[in-house]
Structure 1
Amino acid sequence: MWVCFPPLDFTCAELMVLFNPELISHLSEETNLYTSQPIQHSTLVDQAKKLSLYLQNSQAPNVNRDWKLVLLFVQLDQFCACEDQQVSSIIAAVVKEVDKALQLLHSRLKRTIVSVALWDGEHDTMQSKSGQCLETNSEGELRLLRAVLTQSLQESLDELLVQKHWYSDRKDFTVTLQDIPFITDPSFIARGKHLTESEALQHKDKLLVQMWTNLLQVTVAQYEPEDNGKIFTLPCPSEERPYLRTEGNSPSYHHSNSSPLLEPFTGTDMPCEDLSPSPSTPTSVHKLRPGDVKVVAAVGDSLTAGNGIASRPSDILDVLRQYRGLSWSIGGDENLTSVTTLPNILKYFSQNLTGYSVDTGQQDTPQAFLNQAVAGAKSHDVPTQVRALVERMKNDSRINFESDWKVITFFIGGNDLCEHCYNSLRYSTENYVRNVRESLDYLHKEVPRALVNLVEPLQITQLREMHKDPSLKCPTWLVKIMCPCVILPKSNSEALQMLEDLNRSYQRALHELVESGRYDTRSDFTVVIQPFFRDIIFPRLPDGHPDRSFFSADCFHVSQKAQTMMARSLWNNMHQ
């Protein structure tokens, strides 16, 4: 017998019929995978009760002796959290409900395998609920929030099954968890548009293959479905692995068993002997010493906002936390002996330095100060950031806006590259450099006595290395949502070459903008290209595997170890 709840418009039962023509499939008409109208669902516990009653009243012979496969879908579109503080309570409530439903099924059903899976549900509902958060969160922040919530819930359900021993105190009952959530196609998320009818059908087929693959025993090599235009090739049970997957016959990786990384040394010694400022405050930016700098500031995306810098490898939810005090170019937590950032270096030279961010929080909090970076930001978001930055500078009593020398670090472009393949015009080199130019023009017009560090976008294809090696156990499905145009292209493909070309084009365009002399019309203002991300060497362990310690729990954001290297590189380049 084949049962799923909430019921979906899948045809996986048709596959099961190929192996057992006497299969009985119970699918109510409560909902549909691509329904155009939001539907209020009963709770999982209520559905479990209805299912057990249905089976008890079934006219099918031998219902108690027949083996049953139950799919339990946890629908993500029913949950909405606008702030990371709400996420933990939401996840706890969902896990509690799933536990109750599984306990009920365990008490009433015999000869049953329950397969639990996360599903992002009706897209209209998902978008309308996200709309409730738009006033306080950017599009990028919402995407990160939802992706991390999904991964955290996946890990929490895994922990539940481990604690409950997969409800396998009887030989005729067990529970498994689908390895990957059933999520909306990354292109749909990136474009922010509805799937067409043909796209929806193709996406449904992909989800079907995913479900079927995860129901079977794990193969030695990770199965990748072949898409030959209209036909997907399905995996088959083998003579060596003929069974449906259970923890008993295919033990899986559990995130709770991951070994914590050793705390990296993130402090730096100060070898400089001459820490003195200029004898008198310089009037030319070209004669600026480190000790002359009084104010630091920064704009950018999550790498500057500080998402997940201090997160433990096992704490995916903490990636939502913005560790602004640890941010490479603008953080000011502790001191250089323990936290390497540009401000902590400059504090040795300028004891009255201000502007740096401390602790955690979003860009509008007092502790963010002049760190106005926003998670998920793209180049078209930066003009808003620089206006907010200048406003804060002008209105803060700690800053003498006219006479204090300022160092502003400008780093943007990674998220543009992550989505370029879904809107090549919006994320073209011309539009990218236009957005940067508008932001720099505003700073040039409004801010006296400033040196702007314009950091080139990193060579982003290096991120793919983290998602080629399955031994790293990275949540690749999550990064496909966050950065689809980098992760999805196949090796040596035209799409990958287009990404690499665009990445280089962004870097060249910034160089040309600065070399044009556009920002050298005053002696007290300049923009300096910082090219240290142009040709990075991906960090590897002695055995050749990627070094995950440079990344946060999501294998997308970087750890404090990487931020330390970024701060040192910025400082070194400022002296070359």
Structure 2
Amino acid sequence: MELPPGVSLMGLLLLLLLVGQGPSKIHSASIENKLTQQPQEVLQALKNFAFPCKPKKLGLSKPSKSVHSLTPSDIKLVAAIGNLGTPPASGKVTVKKTQSIKNEPQHVCMEAMTALSDIIRHFNPSVLMPTCSPGKSGAAHNMVEDLWMQAKQLVRHLKENPQLDFKKDWKLITVFFSNTSQCHLCPSTQQKRHLIRSMEKMCEILDYLHQEVPKAFVNLVDLSEVLAMSHQHQTGLSPAPELCNCSEETTKLSKAVMQWSYQEAWEGLLASIKFNKHESFTVVFQPFFYEVEPPSERSTPQDPRTLALGIWNNMMKPVGHKDELIDAVERKTNCPSQESPYLFTYRNSNYQTKQLKPVAKLQVREGTEFSCSDKKPSNTVPTTVHRLRPADIKVIAAMGDSLTAGNGAGSKPGNVVDVLTQYRGLSWSVGGDENIRTVTTLANILREFNPSLKGFSVGIGKENTAEASFNQAVAGAKAEGLVTQAQRLVSLMKADPTINFQEDWKIITVFIGGNDLCASCNDLVHYSPQNFTDNIRKALDILHAEVPRAFVNMVEVIEIIGLRELYKETQVNCPRLILRNLCPCVLKFEDDSAEFAALVERNREYQKRTEELINSRRYDTRDDFTVVLQPFFENVAVPRTPEGLPDNSFFAPDCFHFSGKTHARSAVALWRNMLEPVGHKTRQYDFENKIPILCPNQTLQFLSTYKNSNQDYGTWTLCKDRAPSASPPTSVHALRPADIKVVAALGDSLTAGNGIGSQEGDLSDISTQYRGLSYG
């Protein structure tokens, strides 16, 4: 069955959100012949629906005595109530797309509930025709009152229904509601109080149903996200929900975290109160609407079965595991198993109530021993970036996204909401909390060489706080946001009286791309590898034009597909709703799908194009500036526990951001890359093993650039047989290379190494004897 052209699932759901005029009525086949009012194509679709479940194989015969062992075959009636939306401010609805569908919420609700009843009918052929009671008013101040009215009408109808044994028959009731202010998305104390009041009012209505309706399984469904999406995509069917006046900007991360927190609040409340303690009544929060994808121009028209299947599929999933995206195209159907033939409740899911009250923050730290002996700067301030010692660096800065902002780096395990906190002092590339022995960061490594280093971030806060200093990373940023960051960074540096902008040597680390990959499947052109690299180029061009004496680390975009291992492993405690919202393009496709293969290739192309940009020598046009690619994130394996599971101790509580431990080990990996010669840098890093800090030496005395890496003269031996003779040879004619224990040379200035390491045009350095570079 297909709806008329242009009618999508979103449009259909939003019809459900509209409110009719006049008194609200209970709609069911026993009162009005709704079947005659439904389009014949809907009925035909329900008849032809290929239902994959095999009820007979379950072998169920005795009716359940407990709601916690309730099976689909026990259900006698399906019903729905709810405040499903807000009317347009003008009071008018003109939507050409839905000409063939009656603009009545009761009608659409009945279609969805009929579809759900049809599913139940496969298990119980005697299920009654459904009952639907949409509200008459969507005004915010009337919502609770309207829902109370509907609940009372439903109870009265159930008691008066001659086909229903009110006390003995099991009822499946869905309660739709919408938090039209969406205040649960605002991470503030005021909004939390508003949320608690709203939940208390809803619980009063649920308590009424509990008192009045025996033998009932109640689904509690929040439609707030559907309302928000309807406005975003301008369906014209419903106005936007009223947004809270949040004291802070509502970012994608904060929205995802607060949605998860909101869901967890409901789960914890419903699991702990009396609804879960009785045998004849329960309420289960069904959160699937949070993940309904916005309609696209190419999306297939949908019908009410998608809504019905969404409710059904969630009832078939244990509480705590209702996190799969509703696929409106494929319409996958979950079936009860012989091991779990029942509808899932908090009790039979063995759901563990999570701690909802704020927990004390635990500052996660991982220090490193520092044993480098040569910490001296150059005898004179270098005039070239190619002879830069670590101790010559006086300023440090960084640009990027939340991984550089430090989101969740200091969060206590399990404290998901705290991932919104930006622990900039722990940031791997620029954080400066405490010292290297307690907090490992690139800044703290450099402070061992130069204790008066400037620019590192401390404590917590956003990029516009004093504590952020030159850490201008913005949580949620994509490559296109780097230009703004570069401009702000340059302005801050020029205005800072504690540094000498023209004379001080600076380290600037740029790391971006994770958010681009996470969104790339939604707009392949916008997030193409070419556009990604162009955005990086524009930002680096600003630094190149504006910042003197700078060594720029361009850290290659991380190999992101390892995130899938955390998401898929159910034995690892991760908030999958947050992961799915933050990075859908990495997580929603099957391993063998063309879309996933394209993502892997796009990830590689991001890396390849970035390297090509740096290797073009675009940023090596003057002697006091360079950009060096640092590729240690190119191949990343997810760390594992001794049991072989993904080790989430390397991640913040949201399983997306870095934990303090990963920040520390990323800092060591970056530092190692900075000393390794160009062309021979580590491209794969094992985060499971804590490695020591690499120290500069006679071979690696400068930060490596393309010019000082001597890549044109060095040779990496590929010889496998390097063993000495079994016993010291007695003849020079039997001498092996490994037998040689002493080397020496005689000669003139060519052997002494005069001028080998001198810079082009530096005639005064010709007398320097670079004997360590001598051919002999």
Q: Assess same fold via TM > 0.5.
A: yes
Cα distance change of structure 1 residues 485 and 223 upon mapping to structure 2, 3 Å threshold: closer
Cα distance change of structure 1 residues 440 and 130 upon mapping to structure 2, 3 Å threshold: farther
Supply the distance in 2 between the matched residues of 1:401 and 1:339 (Cα, whole angstroms).
Answer: 28
Determine which of 137, 144, 156 is the counterpart of 2:265. 156
CA displacement, residues 137-184 of structure 1 (integer Å, 9 cap, x when unaligned): 4xxx622222111111111122213332x5244332222233x43224
Is the counterpart of residue 185 in structure 1 residue 292 in structure 2?
yes
Residue matched to 2:478: 378
Residue matched to 1:3: 80
Determine which of 235, 240, 244 is the counterpart of 2:334. 235
Residue matched to 2:713: none
Determine which of 161, 174, 178 is the counterpart of 1:60. 161
* Gap runs ≥5 in structure 1: 33-37, 189-193
Which SS does the other structure have where 2:541 is aligned? helix
Is the counterpart of residue 28 in structure 1 residue 133 in structure 2?
yes
Supply the distance in 2 between the matched residues of 1:49 and 1:311 (Cα, whole angstroms).
Answer: 45
Supply the distance in 1 between the matched residues of 2:292 and 2:454 (Cα, whole angstroms).
Answer: 44
Residue matched to 1:479: 579
Cα distance change of structure 1 residues 503 and 168 upon mapping to structure 2, 3 Å threshold: closer
Supply the distance in 1 between the matched residues of 2:145 and 2:647 (Cα, whole angstroms).
Answer: 43
Which SS does the other structure have where 2:443 is aligned? helix
Determine which of 343, 352, 359 is the counterpart of 1:244. 343
Determine which of 460, 476, 480 is the counterpart of 2:560. 460
Pairwise CA RMSD:
3.3
| Worse overlay, 285-294 or 11-20 | 11-20
Cα distance change of structure 1 residues 6 and 68 upon mapping to structure 2, 3 Å threshold: farther
Give yes or no for contact 1:328–1:340 (8 Å, CA) kept in 2: yes
Residue matched to 2:451: 351
Supply the distance in 2 between the matched residues of 1:21 and 1:125 (Cα, whole angstroms).
Answer: 41
Q: Which amino acid aligns with 2:270?
A: L
Q: Which amino acid aligns with 2:284?
A: T
CA displacement, residues 509-533 of structure 1 (integer Å, 9 cap, x when unaligned): 1111111111111111110110000
Give yes or no for contact 1:209–1:225 (8 Å, CA) kept in 2: no
Supply the distance in 1 between the matched residues of 2:148 and 2:340 (Cα, whole angstroms).
Answer: 30
Which SS does the other structure have where 1:250 is aligned? coil
Supply the distance in 1 between the matched residues of 2:325 and 2:610 (Cα, whole angstroms).
Answer: 40
Cα distance change of structure 1 residues 48 and 249 upon mapping to structure 2, 3 Å threshold: farther
CA displacement, residues 488-528 of structure 1 (integer Å, 9 cap, x when unaligned): 12112221121111111111111111111111111111101
Give yes or no for contact 1:551–1:559 (8 Å, CA) kept in 2: yes
Cα distance change of structure 1 residues 534 and 169 upon mapping to structure 2, 3 Å threshold: closer
Is the counterpart of residue 201 in structure 1 residue 302 in structure 2?
yes
Residue matched to 1:72: 175
Deviation at 1:261, TM superposition (A): 13
Give yes or no for contact 1:45–1:100 (8 Å, CA) kept in 2: no
Deviation at 1:373, TM superposition (A): 1.0
Which SS does the other structure have where 1:176 is aligned? strand
CA displacement, residues 243-268 of structure 1 (integer Å, 9 cap, x when unaligned): 322234332354449x9999865111
Q: Which amino acid aligns with 2:175?
A: L
Which SS does the other structure have where 1:460 is aligned? coil
Supply the distance in 1 between the matched residues of 2:271 and 2:243 (Cα, whole angstroms).
Answer: 35
Give yes or no for contact 1:333–1:339 (8 Å, CA) kept in 2: yes
Cα distance change of structure 1 residues 114 and 466 upon mapping to structure 2, 3 Å threshold: same
Supply the distance in 2 between the matched residues of 1:230 and 1:362 (Cα, whole angstroms).
Answer: 40
* Gap runs ≥5 in structure 2: 1-76, 85-107, 234-239, 677-776
Give yes or no for contact 2:182–2:242 (8 Å, CA) kept in 1: no
CA displacement, residues 225-254 of structure 1 (integer Å, 9 cap, x when unaligned): 997x96634233345433322234332354
Residue matched to 2:380: 280
Deviation at 1:462, TM superposition (A): 1.1
Q: Which amino acid aligns with 1:504?
A: R
Aligned residues: 556
Determine which of 305, 308, 326 is the counterpart of 2:408. 308
Cα distance change of structure 1 residues 538 and 72 upon mapping to structure 2, 3 Å threshold: same
CA displacement, residues 277-304 of structure 1 (integer Å, 9 cap, x when unaligned): 2222221111112222111111111111
Deviation at 1:413, TM superposition (A): 0.9
Higher helix share: 1
Supply the distance in 2 between the matched residues of 1:520 and 1:422 (Cα, whole angstroms).
Answer: 36
Give yes or no for contact 1:217–1:241 (8 Å, CA) kept in 2: no
Deviation at 1:116, TM superposition (A): 2.7
How many percent of aligned residue pairs carry the same amino acid?
38
Higher gyration radius (CA): 2
Supply the distance in 2 between the matched residues of 1:345 and 1:26 (Cα, whole angstroms).
Answer: 68
Residue matched to 2:492: 392
Supply the distance in 2 between the matched residues of 1:45 and 1:538 (Cα, whole angstroms).
Answer: 52
Deviation at 1:315, TM superposition (A): 1.8
Which SS does the other structure have where 2:188 is aligned? helix
Give yes or no for contact 2:271–2:346 (8 Å, CA) kept in 1: no
Supply the distance in 2 between the matched residues of 1:104 and 1:158 (Cα, whole angstroms).
Answer: 19
Supply the distance in 1 between the matched residues of 2:507 and 2:177 (Cα, whole angstroms).
Answer: 49
TM-score by length of 1: 0.87
Supply the distance in 2 between the matched residues of 1:337 and 1:73 (Cα, whole angstroms).
Answer: 54
Deviation at 1:375, TM superposition (A): 1.3
Supply the distance in 2 between the matched residues of 1:445 and 1:225 (Cα, whole angstroms).
Answer: 46
Supply the distance in 2 between the matched residues of 1:150 and 1:522 (Cα, whole angstroms).
Answer: 50
Deviation at 1:483, TM superposition (A): 1.2
Q: Which amino acid aligns with 2:265?
A: S
Residue matched to 1:113: 217
Which SS does the other structure have where 1:27 is aligned? strand
Residue matched to 2:255: 146
Determine which of 450, 469, 472 is the counterpart of 2:569. 469
Deviation at 1:567, TM superposition (A): 0.9
Which SS does the other structure have where 1:392 is aligned? helix
Supply the distance in 2 between the matched residues of 1:230 and 1:453 (Cα, whole angstroms).
Answer: 44
Cα distance change of structure 1 residues 208 and 225 upon mapping to structure 2, 3 Å threshold: farther
Supply the distance in 2 between the matched residues of 1:354 and 1:223 (Cα, whole angstroms).
Answer: 45
Give yes or no for contact 2:557–2:607 (8 Å, CA) kept in 1: yes
Give yes or no for contact 1:419–1:485 (8 Å, CA) kept in 2: yes
Supply the distance in 1 between the matched residues of 2:218 and 2:558 (Cα, whole angstroms).
Answer: 44
Supply the distance in 2 between the matched residues of 1:135 and 1:386 (Cα, whole angstroms).
Answer: 27
Deviation at 1:218, TM superposition (A): 4.7
Give yes or no for contact 1:225–1:232 (8 Å, CA) kept in 2: no
Supply the distance in 1 between the matched residues of 2:420 and 2:370 (Cα, whole angstroms).
Answer: 32
Residue matched to 1:35: none
Give yes or no for contact 2:181–2:242 (8 Å, CA) kept in 1: no
Residue matched to 1:191: none
Supply the distance in 2 between the matched residues of 1:131 and 1:295 (Cα, whole angstroms).
Answer: 42
Cα distance change of structure 1 residues 470 and 42 upon mapping to structure 2, 3 Å threshold: farther
Give yes or no for contact 2:323–2:577 (8 Å, CA) kept in 1: no
Q: Which amino acid aligns with 2:267?
A: D
Cα distance change of structure 1 residues 274 and 84 upon mapping to structure 2, 3 Å threshold: farther
Where in structure 2 are the equivalents of 1:351-370 lying within 5 Å?
A: 351-370=451-470
Which SS does the other structure have where 1:552 is aligned? coil
Determine which of 392, 401, 422 is the counterpart of 2:501. 401
Give yes or no for contact 2:186–2:246 (8 Å, CA) kept in 1: no
TM-score by length of 2: 0.66
Residue matched to 2:534: 434
Q: Which amino acid aligns with 1:154?
A: Q
Is the counterpart of residue 12 in structure 1 residue 137 in structure 2?
no
Greater than 6 Å deviation, 4+ residue runs: 130-136, 221-227, 259-264
